[in-house]
Structure 1
Amino acid sequence: MKKIFFLLFFHLSIIPFAFSQEARDIVKKADEKAKGKTSVASITIQTIRPSWSREMSVKAWTKGNDLSLILVLAPAKEKGVVFLKRKKEVWNWIPSIERNIKMPPSMMSQSWMGTDFTNDDLVKEASILEDYNHSFLKEVVIDGRSCYKIQLLPKPKSAVVWGKVIMDIDKKDFMMLHVEYFDEDGALINTMHCTDIKLLGGRLLPARMEMVPANKKGNKTVLLYNSLIFDTPLDDSFFTTQNITKVK
């Protein structure tokens, strides 16, 4: 009888871990599908406000989870601005003043180039795999697609922007279709909805991401993928402060 109780207790104790691990694996599949080993993307970003709007063109390179670089191509005022991430360090090259600024963690929660995306959203300083614990909430349907609803809560020692993130990930094709971002008090701050699913770099992915702040009526930022190429060889030396002033 004691053996039966032990086995039952052991089985019940590993269930939360198993579900947590499976939830993390699903987030990992979606993350890896969107990034590949490397990626090179051409992106249009539209910032929309009640009385005005503006459009930016950027090119972005990534290698794994530790290396990324974003180059602003237009408008002319911001042309040549570069953001570089190496592991947990982020730099911002500003050509108009010829300065390369190392960004402190406190800046990760601030707006990226006046958009509704944060610096962390675009540069990915925090890792959705390593900095959070993952758990299933339920299954939902988003735009006709069955999805897993997965909750991400920061690990105790992780320095992250969000107090909670909830992702809806397509069960069949492992695409992030809907993401909600909450502060440490549990208040909803931003919602991202992903649509216009098409082949990008040979992979089925959303080509449109719309970020909407919860408390700013009429504000939103739309990110559009014009092209996306995966697994092009990129040397680590591309992602250096020495190269940040030369990239085109």
Structure 2
Amino acid sequence: MRLIACIIAVCFANLLYAQTAKEIVQKADEKMRGKTMQAEMIIKTIRLTWSREMQCKTWMKGNNLAMIFIVAPAKDKGIAFLKRKKEVWNWMPALERTIKLPPSMMSQSWMGTDFTNDDLVKESSVVEDYNHTIAGDTIIQNRECYIIQMIPKPEAAVVWSKVIVCIDKKDFLELHSRFYDEDGKLINTMNSYDIKMMHDRIIPTRFEMIPADKKGQKTEMIYKNIQYNKPIDDGFFSTEKIKTLN
């Protein structure tokens, strides 16, 4: 009986631990997103022999609505991406066409960068599509962090087979993430820097995505301006609106 009681106690403790891990991930996700978010950002694609810079605007509302609009360079201006729930569209002004992206394209490169389509438009949910467990603790940028392992739920259509995230214990900032494929191979590492006050909260403002097998290659995403929790009507996130953004 004592052994059974111990087993039950351990299982119950692990269950609480897993719930706590999910709460930590949810707090970090909500910290970065807010109820709504409007932002201006620069995305720098860096290669051994060249680099490229894009300027973008983005709007997000909760976990189900998102829009990304490319402002510069001129050859890409007007290209836009829309997410509504689990559906993603791409507006190509040169073709005057709106293309619905299949789930299989979520793992593909976004606009030639080291970020995937899923990284930018967030088709998958880091909170709802994964099971979370705390794997330990670490120190990053002099901040104590949780190490959390995220394994996709069986029914979830997600890009990665495993994600390891390191989240600051004090401010719930995601400072380091590692992304693995279905064979358990490390594909990308993301680091977060330049923590500062943006609008009403402290967040990282520069993110580096580094592919594991491509030396000297990375993509930086830098937030220049963010506004949180300003009302955005659901109707803004429509396939008609992406054709008229400016």
TM-score interval for Structure 1 and Structure 2 normalised by the shorter chain: over 0.9
Shift of 1:32: 0.2
Whether 1:160 aligns to 2:158 is yes
Q: What is the total number of aligned residue pairs between the two structures?
A: 246
How far off is 1:13 after superposition?
A: 2.1
* Aligned residue in 2 for 1:201: 199
Shift of 1:100: 0.1
Task: Output the amino acid matched with 1:164.
Answer: K
- Out of 154, 177, 181, the residue aligned to residue 175 of structure 2 is 177
Report the counterpart of residue 27 of structure 1 in structure 2: 25
Shift of 1:152: 0.3
- Residue 126 of structure 2, aligned match among 114, 125, 128: 128
Superposed CA deviations along residues 184-238 of structure 1, whole A, max 9, x for unmatched, are 1110000000000000122111111011000001110000000010000000000
TM-superposed CA distance for 1:132, in Å, is 0.4
> What is residue 78 of structure 1 aligned with on the other side?
76
Letter in 1 for 2:159: V
Q: Displacement, 1:9?
A: 3.6
Q: TM-score with structure 2 length normalisation?
A: 0.98
Q: Distance in 2 between matches of 1:15 and 1:194?
A: 31
SS class of match (2:241): coil
Query: Which residue in the other structure is 1:119 paired with?
Result: 117
In structure 1, the residue matched to 2:89 is 91
Alignment map for 1:101-116 (pairs within 5 Å): 101-116=99-114
| Aligned equivalents of 1:50, 1:6: Cα separation in 2 | 59
Amino acid at match of 1:76: A
- What's the Cα RMSD here? 1.0
State the Cα distance separating 1:15 from its structure 2 match: 1.6
Normalised to the residue count of structure 1, the TM-score between the two structures is 0.97
Per the alignment, residue 187 of structure 2 pairs with 189
- What secondary structure is seen at the aligned counterpart in 1 of 2:145? strand
Q: CA separation in 2, counterparts of 1:61 and 1:125?
A: 14
Q: How far is 1:16 from its partner?
A: 1.7
3-state DSSP of counterpart to 2:12: helix
Partners of 1:117 and 1:154 in 2: how far apart? 19
Secondary structure at 1:114's aligned position in 2? coil
Letter matched to residue 29 of structure 1: K
Q: Which runs of 5+ in 1 are unaligned?
A: none
Note the alpha carbon deviations across 1:145-194, whole angstroms, 9 max, x for none. Answer: 10000000011111100010000000000000001001011100000000
Offset, 1:133: 0.3
CA distance in 1, matches of 2:106, 2:116: 6
Hey, what's the Cα distance between the residues in 2 that align with 1:247 and 1:78?
A: 13
Distance apart, 1:7 and its partner CA = 4.1
Gaps of 5+ in 2: none
